[in-house]
């Protein structure tokens, strides 16, 4: 089950021909499907898709996708960074597998965060200080990563804490 080696592929994303950032894939020699529920249990914000045997996770500026037969990472500058990031992810897979007896596997697909759930924790005054016309538009922006909580100066402490937990 542990990943001992992989075949590295680095390429320009098809949607961005000529881009100066690359995507990279570690092609594996055997399936890591069994480790995905354990990664789902320990990685905050992971999105597990059991039917597709896939799990995605945002790590810093990279989107990481774990599939049964490969691990992909986006937004790398060159082959060196690709290898560094993929080595980290392979190490994460191996450490998680080694610790599986201590982890309760999570087989649940992540539920999508609802804009209404976020909106209900905002001040709902539509004051526009965040640059959006309404608090609902700001809620969409928070979910999409276009905004941060710091951009709403009207948030009370309890609202901020609840949103930090939710997001």
How many Cβ atoms sit within 10 Å of the Cβ of residue 160? 14
- For residue 81, the cross-strand partners are none
Contact present, 25 and 90 (Cβ < 8 Å): no
Q: Is the CB of 50 or the CB of 123 nearer to ligand SF4?
A: 123
User: Residue 97 or residue 119: which is nearer to ligand SF4 going by CB?
Assistant: 119
Of 73 and 135, the one with the shorter C-beta distance to ligand SF4 is 135
Give least dist CB 44 to ligand SF4, A: 24
Q: Looking at beta carbons only, is 43 or 122 nearer to ligand SF4? A: 122
Q: Which residue from 167, 92, 62 is spatially nearest to 122, judged by alpha carbons?
A: 167
Residue 134 CB, nearest approach to ligand SF4 (Å) = 6
Q: Minimum CB separation from ligand SF4 for residue 115, in Å? A: 12
Pairing status of strand 47-49 against strand 70-76: unpaired
How is 96-140 classified by DSSP, letter by letter? HHHTGGGS----PPPPPPPHHHHHTTS------TTSSSSHHHHHH
Nearest Cα residue to 115 out of 94, 152, 91, 144: 144
Residues that bind ligand SF4 (CB under 6 A): 122-123, 125-130, 132, 135, 138, 152, 154
In the complex, least distance from residue 112 CB atom to ligand SF4, rounded to whole angstroms: 21
Cβ at position 160, least distance to ligand SF4 in Å: 11
**Nearest residue (CB) to ligand SF4, 70 versus 160:** 160
């Amino acid at each position: 089950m542990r990943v001992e080696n992989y075949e590295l592929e680095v390429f320009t994303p098809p949607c961005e021909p000529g881009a100066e950032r690359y995507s990279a894939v570690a092609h594996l020699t055997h399936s890591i499907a069994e480790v995905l529920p354990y990664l789902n249990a320990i990685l905050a914000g992971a999105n597990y898709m059991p039917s597709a045997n896939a799990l995605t996770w945002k790590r810093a500026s990279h989107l990481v996708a774990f599939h049964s037969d490969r691990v992909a990472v986006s937004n790398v500058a060159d082959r060196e960074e690709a290898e560094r990031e993929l080595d980290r992810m392979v190490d994460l897979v191996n450490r998680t597998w080694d610790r599986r007896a201590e982890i309760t596997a999570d087989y649940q697909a992540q539920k999508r965060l609802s804009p209404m759930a976020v909106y209900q924790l905002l001040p709902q005054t539509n004051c526009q200080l965040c640059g959006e016309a309404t608090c609902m538009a700001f809620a969409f922006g928070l979910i999409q990563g276009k905004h941060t909580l710091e951009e709403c100066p009207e948030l009370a402490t309890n609202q901020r804490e609840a949103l930090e937990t939710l997001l």
